[in-house]
Amino acid sequence: MPLTKEERDFLDAFAYEATHEPFGGPATDELRRRHIYYADLHGLLTRYHREFLAERTMPFGKPNPTPPPSPWANREQVELRGTALMEECDHRQSKPPMPTGALVNVSPPEIPSPDH
């Protein structure tokens, strides 16, 4: 499930504030009033980053002096949403299959001595 439009619009403003001096602004202030901090946004920012990379766009946000309101009322909502996004991400990642059969003894390559 992708980020909602509201989440993405808010994170555009927040990501810009978090990556550009003076490293703060109205979106950051709103999160602080709700006792939501940067570390609480791990799952959301991971998803934000991946969506932008999939679009071949740098995920540095967009300046917005009047960002939309936070889509999350409190830290608990952020944590629940972030956890859901990370679990979905974990399920989508394909893991390479485990090798089957006998392991073959492979000798390490010879490394020339420093004298040669």
User: What pLDDT digit, counting tens, does each position of 42-86 carry?
Assistant: 999 999 999 999 999 899 999 999 999 999 999 999 999 999 999
109: pLDDT strictly greater than 70: no
CB 43 within 8 A of CB 82: yes
Q: Which of 25-29, 52-56, 93-97 has the lowest mean pLDDT?
A: 93-97
Please choose, from the candidates 53, 27, 47, the residue with its C-alpha nearest in 3D space to the C-alpha of residue 92. 47
Quickly list H helices, 21-105.
26-33, 42-54, 75-92
pLDDT of residue 35: 98
